[in-house]
Amino acid sequence: MKQFFASIVLLYLGLAARAGNPGVEIFTPGIPVVTGREYGIVTEICIESDGTDTLDRIDLAVTDLDLATLRSARLVYTGTLSAIRSRTTSYVLKEMGKRLGGGQMLCADEGFGNLLQVVHPTEPSFRIPVGKALVKGRNFFHVSLEIAPRTLGELARPFALRVERISVNGLNTPFEQQGAGHSRLGVSVRQHGDDGVYAYRIPGLVTTNDGSLIGVYDVRHVSSLDLQNDIDVGVSRSTDGGVTWEPMRIAMDMGQWGGLPQSQNGIGDPSVLVDTRSGEIFILAVWTHGCGGDRAWTSVGNGLEPGQTAQLMLTSSRDDGRSWSAPRNITRQIKHPEWFLTLQGPGRGICMSDGTLVFPIQFIGADRIPCAGIIYSRDHGETWHFHTPARTNTTESQVAELPDGSLMLNMRDNRKTGRAVSITTDLGRTWRQHPSSGELIEPVCMASLLSIPAERNVLGRDLLLFSNPATKKGRHSMTIRASLDDGYTWLPENALLLDAEENWGYSCLTQIDAEHIGILYESSVSQLLFQAVKLTDLVRVIPEEVRFEALPEIAEEGDYARGVSAPCCGFVDGRLIVAGGANFPADPLARESKKIFLDDIWTWEKGDATWRHVGKLPSKLAHAAGYACNGRLIVAGGANEKGPSKEVFALSVKRDKARITPLPSLPFEVEQAGAATSAERLYLAGGLTSQGVNESLLVCDLRTGARWRELARLPERMVQPVLVATPKAVYLWGGFDPLTGRCIPNGYRFDLESGRWTKTTPVPAGTTFTGATPFEPDTQGFLVTGGVNPECFEAGLKASGEEAEAYLSMPPAHYRFNRRIWYFSFADETWQEVGYSGRCALAGAASAFHRGMRFLVGGEIKPRVRSPKIWKMSLYGKHEKTTLQ
């Protein structure tokens, strides 16, 4: 009897031990759950077995889901392979995914998986009885939920399906839970086989004045391939926020024009916009005629006629998308005869706040290099105009109007260096590279951009939204991101993953109402899927530590319009003064491009709409030490094309006219030195001289004759250091050493009473203050922003020849200029991060401080490329009292 009970105990323990096998896994793939669809993977279960086990039952629970919308739950067994494309061993599933994108539905095929059970839950917790004998090895099951939302709120609400218990051989089996924490619903707007069509691609999406959603797309009748192909432009319309969609309409079909079959008259890659002034909806698409059936991208010629080149065709609707006009050819209004293929976005265009209609376009130039740009109409779509491309070697782009009225163009970049971003203030006559260029990663794919003004959303903040496959390789991880500062900063907390699996990757965003946005995209579960997202689900962090207000730029044209770095800057007698500085000519990255130095003096007072030109410096000058002191801006040293200077002078402004007063010179010429002032004492440390590196700390006491003398030798060689002074001490942080080519992380304190250097807290880990911008200290501490990335900077110093050209060619984000705002406390000599902003990612910017106002002037956004921006910066939170006094 004892042996019998012992055997039972051993058997129980053995089963329990094997039931705890870590091979029992639960995985939620983070892919959309298609509404109304019986089959679709919400959760996958994998059980490792020796071939003697039986899966008895699975207990589950749903949260944040209205049970009235839950029709059924299904359990499907797919044998020894996963049904998830990124995890499967099935080459068939992978190949079908390539051919059909989200149109493949093998998970619902009886030959691919066995339906084991269907239940109809009436409570949040429910059980699926199974009784399935397991084969030896890994056994895969997936749970599908059939959900039918009735309202926009239900469609946009994320929910969770949780596995609570799994019973194998009559025992509860421990398991590991992996993957996404929740699931989101999506509506299949178009799918392989709908209306007998093979594939639907290239989505565009807008919201009309009546609140309807208009989705446009390619109707690819016989294959998923691009033009030349039998393609029409289709339209789907929703009047309930995307919960349901009307039957498809064909808006553009060129038929058998010119006697050629439809496969040689395809029209597609549509872009859609709404004229918010008139309510008219426009679709712009590209028509290719002939081409011998070859791929249009490479086979379309130049010229203007249909038999020579692609045609830009425009249709419109004046009845909220119910019917569409005959296509109108606008090719001659836009295309240059020497261009090859010319086409729109695709995706969507915009109606600017002044009523101007704007479509993004792309074209292959006479040199066979593609370029992206915009076209615009100021007469409600009758005539269209083009000026210059934004950037070469770019293609599919999207445009958004920013709060200041400028246009941002976000482009697919063939350089594979991330999304290219440019700004225009004159409808494309001129373009400026945006500091965020290269920050948003991509696998080289179409993306979407959407601007939502503060007054039109529940957050009350200006929003810039972006969607694409957020990866550098492979079109997976469809993600929406939000920026609260016009694209300068994209916080990872304000990003939402919609679809983790592989898809064709094109997407288009629109605003549904004040609380919701919508996205139509090529997903892993449907060729064209619509999802609705609450803005509060997307924007989870609203930074309030630091706020920026843009001041007028110094000039609309000329040298200062291209931006400036290293000017003299200070607040004197209620005026912000900016003088001198340096930049590069119109093409700063050209091999022959040389730095130019400036000598103009500009002033701005609170309330001014423009800057005033009040005079010129004694000579062109940049990289000087500047001190706002006793109603004057004192300028010491600096450099121009002749080399460093030792001249010192005081600059003041009376009746809008600059006055220059010479002061005793420095002991030697010096540029790129650190400068600080305290109690009418001026300090200067480090920098470059005509003989090498200045290794002295100089002081000038304005109360005793303004003569300069050496106060001490520096503990290290430092160029572009940060120098800060208090009545009792001088603080110094590197900087870089040009002899070793290394950035210096060390910090030092010079005690004015003892005359000795001691080490203080170094610069924050992973950064450097080379090129950084310190602000005048208060009694408690000081702020510093910007600066280069040490790794990138040191690599740039070493580069030469073609390597140097390649280094200079990268987008701004590649150089990883510091975005953090650091505060140094004198009391405990520690650094604390008090803010984070892409607007601070500058090197060589100038600063000024006046009565709680901090000003950040110019600076590099990347090597050789200067910013014309001038920001007034306000800090809030912990350091508000100490830094804004």
Quick one: DSSP state of residue 671? B
The residue with tokens 């064209």 is 528
Active site residue 246: no
Is residue 60 within 8 Å of residue 73, measured between CB atoms? yes
Alpha carbon of residue 848 to chain centroid = 29
SS3 letters across 151-205: CHHHHHCCEEEEEEEEEECCEECCCEEEECCCECEEEEEECCCHHHCCEEEEEEE
Cα(first)–Cα(last) distance of the chain, in Å? 87
- Between CA 701 and CA 682 the distance in angstroms is 6
- Between CA 737 and CA 183 the distance in angstroms is 53
Is residue 186 within 8 Å of residue 478, measured between CB atoms? no
Q: Which of 25, 146, 396, 439 is catalytic?
A: 396
Token pair listed for 280: 């008219």
The residue with tokens 């010079």 is 750
DSSP secondary structure of 754-768: TTEEEEE--SPTT--
Is residue 141 within 8 Å of residue 42, measured between CB atoms? no
- Between CA 163 and CA 177 the distance in angstroms is 8
- Between CA 631 and CA 627 the distance in angstroms is 10
CA atoms within 13 Å, Cβ hemisphere of 93: 23
Token pair listed for 494: 């304000």
Closest CA to 122 of 72, 57, 161, 64: 72
Instruction: For residue 547, give the 3-state DSSP assignment.
Output: strand
Is residue 811 within 8 Å of residue 420, measured between CB atoms? yes
- Between CA 53 and CA 166 the distance in angstroms is 13
DSSP secondary structure of 385-451: B----SEETEEEEEEEE-TTS-EEEEEEETTSSS-EEEEESSTTSS-EE-TTTTTS--SS---EEEE
Token pair listed for 36: 């109304």
- Between CA 645 and CA 687 the distance in angstroms is 12
- Between CA 560 and CA 562 the distance in angstroms is 5
Q: Which residues are catalytic?
A: 396
